[in-house]
Chain A
Amino acid sequence: MRKLLKHRILWPIGALLALVLLNAVSRPSFLSITVRDGELYGSLIDILRNSAPLMLVALGMTLVIATRGIDLSVGAQMAISGAVALTIISDSKTPGSLGTVAVAILAGVAITFIFGLWNGFLVSVVGIQPIIATLVLMLAGRGIALLITGGFITTITSAPYAQMSQGYLIGFPFAFFVSLGAILVISLVVRRTALGVLTESVGINPEASRLAGVRSRGIVWSVYGVSGLLAGVAGILYSSNIMAADANNAGINIELDAILAVVLGGTSLAGGKFTLAGTVVGVFIIQTLTSTITFLGVPPAVTPVFKALVVIVVCLAQSRRVREWLSRIRPTRTPTTTTTTPVVERIPA
């Protein structure tokens, strides 16, 4: 069992280290961190800062995927929270005051939390497939964000708001602390209480866990709420980075990156067992990969090709058939892993 755990997280970490090593060899400046006015600068620090929105979204996505779901609407929700927050700030008379910014952030996050609950309602109560339930909001969400901003890209100047993603706190980027906070809170809540285990049981077999007395409906409902909430915070970070609410481009394709990060981390898309640490590593892999590709002089637009190859390789590595092939090559040992047979189940209403 211990070996298995080691085995699981080892691969993503190995991949991350390999990527970092590749970068360090091809450009020595990659690892260097300079201190200016007590603030740290460097490629690694940039990765820590820029990965924050993806980190938040991917953490929420991990929980959703653990319940056998998927949340496609996170990108649209980011656009909504950014639009709400920036509209409030730009409409207020004191855009620079801390109170206004706090209200704006709370409002933005609260709205996406409600949208998250709406997704959860559709999935857990109405019983719509997660892909479609969240697809609705993915389609409509950007439209809603455009309506909030009136079709324009709202720009603001507000020092406290800029602090969110551009500022520093004890030497590190502020955004890094936001993602660190989210990691800590979620892992504490999930791993120090029974919630994590209950979530996994719902993901492994919803019907059985319901019969065992797990309130699966409430759990499924709340993970979408959490996902919405985190997407809201990510939207705030994103808009604070560019100080503009761009309804069309905020968080575009982030749902795909988040799913990729979760899968890279070793959480199976079939639901059930999940690993938050793996997701964190997965996020760093993606961010480093993006940074590497940019550095190599490949046009950023071609990035999807690399991501596609990563997805294909990872998915194939996860599949039963390839594992069987691999185990045949290795000296035969009894397969200790419980083969997760993809049983298609109809969940009755």
Chain B
Amino acid sequence: MTALTETERPAPTISRWRHFLVGKVAWMPVLAAVVILVIMLVAGQAYFGRFVTPRILSSLFVDNAYLIVLAAGMTFVILTGGIDLSVGAVMAFTGMLAAKLMSTGVPAPVVIPLMLIAGAAFGLIIGVMVHYFDVQPFIASLAGMFLARGLCFVVSLEAIQVKNPLVLGLQSVKINMGDWYVTPTVIIALLLVVGATWVLGYTRFGRTVYAVGGNEQSARLMGLHVARTKVLVYVVSGVCAGIAGLLFTAYTAAGYSLNGIGTELDTIAAVVIGGTLLTGGSGYLIGSLVGVLVYGVIKVSITFLGADASWTRITIGILLLAFVVVQRVIVARANRR
């Protein structure tokens, strides 16, 4: 490499760029996602005119706050090489539970912790099944999804309106900064992203998550707490689903059993587009945030185009495919080295 740079003297910047990339292969997919996001925003601005405005960018966060939270939890699970299909249903269930409890007069400060506990309980069940009983994550979380979705209907078949001012305030309070605005839901979601990034990057638990995803056998031989970590990631995802349930309830001002059908797929798509490898061990939480934003921009553009809503899913599917193929190439290259 050094010999090469000396002969190719006119282009030292390229070699520096290459040097920058060495050892940062894992950042490549994240960068790709950022590039896609920027391209989409620029294209949208060029095509629609008034696309990149503070208002739309703000609404991107406001409308997808729950998805950001779900994606953060999902990132933990996917980093260990697992998958959690239950998040959409758990989100609906915690929302439903909260709406029901609040309609009977239970105060919000009691209800909100209960939502998180309910989410954690689902995560715990799935995690225990995955680790201690060797059930495939896909099937275990599928059972969790069935269970949560069915329990929604046990709580109530009808939608329950939420009138609690504290919960509704999470969405209705708008903090304006010029043309920009944020709601408490966005602040919660972003704080969670910051916290989760810190956990993944700088705590023992977070580093173990990467180690387990990279090679579970090696992690175990190194004496890391594989069992605890593998169960905990599902609990984290469950708690995130509980928080998402709170945000989504605030967003729709009601609990409804059919809320969030297919959200698990959107979440997985966002995480993958954000550059987290499905085989585990590589990825960044910030990427998942970018992935959610890509998803949001696609949704907004399709509304702007006035096209059929079904195009959202098709576009997401195509993007997902493109990113998975790119990942595949990256992994193949890494293995060859």
Task: Point out residues on A near B: beta carbons under 8 Å.
Answer: 70, 122, 126-129, 131-133, 135-140, 142-144, 146-147, 151, 247, 256, 259, 263, 269-270, 299, 301-309, 311-312, 315-316, 318-322, 342, 344, 346, 348-349
Contacts and interface: CB of A to CB of B under 8 A. Distances in A.
A139 B269 contact: yes
A132 B154 contact: no
A17 B133 CA distance: 28
Given A147-B308, A305-B147, A126 B132 contact: no
Given A304-B146, A320-B134, 12 more contacts: A131-B138, A132-B324, A139-B313, A142-B313, A143-B312, A299-B153, A301-B150, A302-B154, A315-B139, A315-B143, A316-B133, A321-B133
A308 to B, nearest CB: 4
A146 B143 CA distance: 29
18 contacts: A70-B138, A122-B321, A126-B328, A135-B320, A139-B265, A139-B316, A139-B320, A140-B314, A143-B310, A146-B308, A147-B314, A259-B142, A304-B146, A306-B150, A308-B150, A312-B147, A315-B129, A318-B135
Which 5 A-B pairs have CB atoms at the shortest separation, nearest pair first?
A: A140-B317, A305-B150, A304-B150, A308-B146, A308-B147
Contact of B157 (A132, A299, A305): A299
Interface string B56-84: 00000000000000000000000001010
A144 B146 contact: no
Interface residues of B, number: 48
B149 interface: yes
The interface residues of chain B, by DSSP majority, are classed as helix
A136 B262 CA distance: 13
A127 B317 contact: no
Contacts of A312: 129, 143, 147
A259 B142 CA distance: 10
Given A304-B149, A315-B129, A315-B135, A143 B314 contact: yes
Contacts of A144: 310, 314
Given A131-B83, A143-B311, A344-B216, A137 B317 contact: yes
A133 B136 CA distance: 17
B325 interface: yes
A203 to B, nearest CB: 14
By CB atoms of chain B within 10 A, which of A247, A299, A312, A346 has the most?
A: A312
Contacts of B81: 344
Interface in B235-279: 257, 265, 268-269, 272, 278-279
Contacts of B321: 122, 136
Given A143-B311, A269-B136, A305-B146, A316 B320 contact: no
Contact of B134 (A132, A259, A342, A349): A342
A303 B318 CA distance: 33
Nearest to B327: A128
B151 interface: yes
A137 B181 CA distance: 37
By CB atoms of chain B within 10 A, which of A136, A139, A142 has the most?
A: A139
A319 B133 contact: yes
Nearest to A305: B150
Given A142-B310, A321-B132, A263 B150 contact: no
B268 A315 contact: no
A259 B217 CA distance: 28
B90 interface: no
Contacts of B132: 321
A101 B183 CA distance: 55
A348 B147 contact: no
A324 to B, nearest CB: 11
Given A142-B310, A144-B314, A301 B134 contact: no
A128 B324 contact: yes
A311 B139 contact: yes
B124 interface: no
